[in-house]
């Protein structure tokens, strides 16, 4: 199991390097594919259809994800994105109304949630990459999520005593959570020193990037726990099996999804990064 997980991690890192360095339409297409895969995992986990069949209601949710992803890739304008979300909502409601009583209100709300969750959050990876200095800033998403996860685990193993969320995730500790935030801030500062300061010529980058990384790390842990809560509610261990040793896309990118918009908006607000 360890070697399987390690091998998958190495492959993920290599793929991340390829796609994040490539950026542009390649990264946009990958984000869209991840969104759709995560959507299917959530739909299955939440048991929208008891017999497991993919229905017209769920197809409308998937179409909404494609529409939103295309709108953000082509325009990078949130007005177009909001328009895509509204159209997705209207399409889902159209199916609900004209196929009544085939679908229940809870199914409609679940489909919209399952589409919005990965469909809106994954594209922020692409949007961050498209910012000025985006070829560097996009890595803060993964520093704030995957580095945080590693540092939290190691710190928790070493000195963890106080439970962070005892019912939801008994193995996570407050000490581990703090260690994850501190570790992300330090790695973010080192990253800024190595790449962003030479690129921008601003020594202040080291402090601002450390702050952004720390904020992202805090939110990443909420993302991790949120995905765990959904699994607990529906009594499943993993969202899928697409990544050997890790589970599904939602299992590996749960924290990334929450971190991506935080890194994007803080980069725009604190660093003045623009498209």
Domain ranges of the chain: 1-22+132-275, 24-129
Q: What is the mean pLDDT of residues 158-166?
A: 94
Q: Is the pLDDT of residue 275 over 90?
A: no
Structural contact between residues 118 and 87, judged by C-beta atoms closer than 8 angstroms: no
pLDDT band at 6 (very low <50, low <70, confident <90, very high): confident
Q: Is the pLDDT of residue 52 over 70?
A: no
Predicted confidence at residue 151, as pLDDT, reads: 96
Hey, what are 94's tokens?
A: 């159209």
Minimum mean pLDDT range among 42-56, 185-199, 247-261: 42-56
pLDDT tens-place string over residues 7-23: 888 899 899 999 999 99
The pTM for the full model equals 0.95
Predicted confidence at residue 57, as pLDDT, reads: 94
Q: What is the mean pLDDT of residues 60-80?
A: 95
Write the CA distances from 32 to 57, 136, 184, 195, 231, integer angstroms: 19, 21, 27, 28, 23
Average per-residue pLDDT for the chain: 94
Contacts of 188 (CB under 8 A, 6+ apart): 140, 143, 144, 209, 210, 212, 213, 214
Hey, what are 66's tokens?
A: 């494609």
pLDDT tens-place string over residues 81-120: 999 999 999 999 999 999 999 999 999 999 999 999 999 9
């Amino acid at each position: 199991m360890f070697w399987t997980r390690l091998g998958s991690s190495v492959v993920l890192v290599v793929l991340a390097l390829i796609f994040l360095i490539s950026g542009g339409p390649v990264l946009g297409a990958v984000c869209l594919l991840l969104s759709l895969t995560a959507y299917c995992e959530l739909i299955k986990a939440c048991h929208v259809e008891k017999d497991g069949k993919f229905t017209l209601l769920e197809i409308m949710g998937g179409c909404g994800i494609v529409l939103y992803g295309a709108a953000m890739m082509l325009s990078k304008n949130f007005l177009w994105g909001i328009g895509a979300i509204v159209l997705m909502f209207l399409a889902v409601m159209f199916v609900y109304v004209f196929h009544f009583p085939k679908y229940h209100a809870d199914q409609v709300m679940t489909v919209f949630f399952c589409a919005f969750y990965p469909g809106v959050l994954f594209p922020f990876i692409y949007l961050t990459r498209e910012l000025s200095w985006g070829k560097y800033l996009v890595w803060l998403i993964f520093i704030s999520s995957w580095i945080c996860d590693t540092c939290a685990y190691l710190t928790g193993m070493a000195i963890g005593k106080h439970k962070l969320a005892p019912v939801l995730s008994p193995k996570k500790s407050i000490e581990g959570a703090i260690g994850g935030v501190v570790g992300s801030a330090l790695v973010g500062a080192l990253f800024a020193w190595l790449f962003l300061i030479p690129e921008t010529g601003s020594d202040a980058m080291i402090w601002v990037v450390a702050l952004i990384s720390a904020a992202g790390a805090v939110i990443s842990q909420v993302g991790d726990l949120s995905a765990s809560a959904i699994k607990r509610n529906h009594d499943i261990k993993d969202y899928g099996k697409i990544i050997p040793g890790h589970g599904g896309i939602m299992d590996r990118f749960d924290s990334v999804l929450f971190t991506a918009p935080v890194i994007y908006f803080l980069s725009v607000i604190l660093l003045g990064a623009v498209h």
